[in-house]
Amino acid sequence: MPLLGYLGRFKYIVEQVILHGNKLEVIRELLVGNLESGDRLEALIFSAIYLKWINTGQIPCFEDGSHHRPNRHAEISRLIFRELERIYCMKDTSLQEVLAIRKIHPCLPSFKAEFTASVPLTRIRDIAHRGDIPHDLKQEIKHTIQNKLHRNAGPEDLVATEAMLARITRNPGEYSEALVEQFKIFHHELKDFSMLGNLTEQLESIKESFDDRSLSALTLFLECKEMLGKALGIPENSVRTYNEVEIVVIFQVSKLCTLLLKAIRSTLGSQGWDVLVPGAAHGTLVQYVLRNFL
């Protein structure tokens, strides 16, 4: 399809998303199917740009009253991931297409088993029904986070959750420790679903699939980051959370990239998609984050 043809199609689909809120349907419409080789690059570029706009809040999306739980987004994400891997492994895939694919992967929500369940992310519902929080706060959590998340999940839900977490932790003792702890856990779960955890969190989330050699490399990598952070006088909290941006340990990063790539390719050679692909998706994302170090 000519470039102008894709632009017209892309514009139409985005307009439908703005009206109806099915954000990931744009990418599914563009990518999933039998693309001709001449169409792929344009489709991948538009997909990468669009997802960037969504994740940064540049495209306003309004609800139409329909109900799409987060598992719907997770299933669409799995379809898109499969298509991206299919394109990535084709013999005629260009370097430009590979680059576009790398830009798309970090923007897709997770499709781990807990997010493809029929009713995912239920902790926020339990929080909204707790008996140890004021009625007005309970209603605010229910209407601004719980209901929105279970109607049409998006990056804006994480923003709302972070604002609420900052509010309930601003004055220690104002709200019960149990509530704060549960909300922190939910915040972590939502970050995991949105694939927006920092490098350390991403590595921790997939370490159960590592073999002994990979675990040793991971442990050494994290130790090196902490040691270098202390040597450079970086605050401990920053070492734990932000040192993937501030600290470069090239040798260990290179080793981790090699081990992750080997594990991903081995996983993709299996037919156990429902169990193994979520790990491959996280491994692929972590590999791209690691490459941003170099």
- List, for residues 183-210, the tens digit of each pLDDT value: 999 999 998 888 877 777 777 777 777 7
Pick from 259, 198, 192, 200: nearest CA to 225 = 200
Q: Tens of pLDDT along 33-43?
A: 656 656 788 88
Average pLDDT for 279-284: 53
User: What is the pLDDT, as a whole number, of residue 169?
Assistant: 94
pTM over the 0.75 mark: no
Question: What pLDDT is stored for residue 170 in this prediction?
Answer: 93
Q: What is the mean pLDDT of residues 108-127?
A: 88
pLDDT category at 167 given cuts 50, 70, 90 is very high
Greater confidence (279 vs 167) lies with: 167
Locate all alpha helices (DSSP H) within the chain, ordered by sequence: 3-20, 25-31, 37-55, 70-88, 95-104, 113-116, 123-128, 135-141, 147-152, 155-169, 177-194, 199-206, 212-231, 236-241, 243-246, 250-268, 273-291
pLDDT tier, 67 (very low <50, low <70, confident <90, very high otherwise): low
Q: Give me the percent of the chain exceeding a pLDDT of 70.
A: 65
What are the pLDDT digits (tens) for 202-259? 777 777 777 888 788 778 877 877 776 676 666 666 555 544 444 444 445 555 666 6
**Mean pLDDT across 6-13:** 63
pLDDT at 249: 47
Torsion of CA 19, 22, 24, 29, to 10 degrees: -80
Supply the pLDDT for residue 140. Answer: 92
Please give the pLDDT value at position 267. Answer: 58
